[in-house]
Amino acid sequence: MVNFMNILYVYAHPEPRSFNGALKDMAMVTLAKKGHAVKVSNLYAIKWKAVLDAQDFRMRQNPYQFNPAVEQIHGVVSRSLAPDIQEEIAKVAWADLLIFQFPVWWSSMPAILKGWFDRVFVQGFVVDLEKGHAYGEGLLKGKTAIIVTTTGGTQEMYSPGGIHGDLETHLSIITHNIFEFVGMTALPSFIIFGAAEMTREEGTRQLERYRALLEKF
């Protein structure tokens, strides 16, 4: 029996003709062939607004002092969040699996993706801290998430004893403090090291490695 999934693919790279672009394009074909339903949030293509501010809330609970957490909860209840946020929230609610693909910049995610989390993972939708609904009881419990990422540095540089430090530790800010905080199950990250210096042959090998992972879903 084949289990088909709803998959949200959140993609954060500014150049369609990059190796990241090739990874994303191959993922779209592979997932479609497997019969999964896929929605894509291509953040640079849609010119995603990355800054959380008062303009995100069309019906303020407190118009005199801006408290993002208070306004997020109110915005969820009143359905008055900005339209672009509501559209992404609907995608997250629909998805069984969320794939986040991005290049590692400054040992973390690009600012545009951090802004997506800031604006979309709103309190009242992903967690309810007043009721203790976080981590094992996070409101996105039952969903699964994975990071797909490339680095400029080598695997040795991003090893536990490397000059940049352990990349898995850097990414735990996402896998633990975001994914697991909201109740999702975090799959092991798929990492391609030293992407900028790869030969064409190595690039092809890494694309096939990613295809093999996707075909397991």
Q: Residue 1: its pLDDT value, please? A: 44
Question: Element (H or E) spanning 197, and its range?
Answer: none
Q: What is the DSSP letter of 148?
A: E
Least confidently predicted of 82-86, 127-131, 202-206 = 127-131
Residue 91 domain-assigned?
yes
Q: Residue 2: its pLDDT value, please? A: 55
Burial label for 120, CB within 10 Å (0-12, 13-18, 19+), is buried
Known catalytic membership, residue 164: yes
Q: Which two tokens stand for residue 149?
A: 């990422």
Question: Which CATH number covers residue 184?
Answer: 3.40.50.360
Determine contact, residues 93/124, Cβ cutoff 8 Å. Answer: no
The count of other CB atoms within 10 Å of the CB of residue 71 is: 24
Q: Identify the bridge partners of residue 148 per DSSP, sorted by sequence position.
A: 101, 190
Q: How confident is the model at residue 217 (pLDDT cuts 50, 70, 90)?
A: confident
* Structural domain for 167, as ranges: 6-216
Residue 179 domain-assigned?
yes
Tens digits of residue pLDDT in 143-178: 999 999 999 999 999 999 999 999 999 999 999 999
Q: Residue 4: its pLDDT value, please? A: 86
- Catalytic residue from among 9, 11, 158, 210: 158
Residue 1 domain-assigned?
no
Is residue 135's pLDDT more than 60?
A: yes
The reported pTM is 0.96
Tens digits of residue pLDDT in 48-68: 999 999 999 999 999 999 999
- Catalytic residue from among 21, 44, 133, 152: 152
- Catalytic residue from among 162, 164, 165, 203: 164
Considering its fold, how many domains does the chain have in total?
1
Residue 32 domain-assigned?
yes
Q: How far apart are CA 75 and CA 125, in angstroms?
A: 10
Residue 10 domain-assigned?
yes
The answer for residues whose C-beta is within 8 angstroms of residue 113's C-beta and 6 or more apart is 10, 12, 43, 100, 102
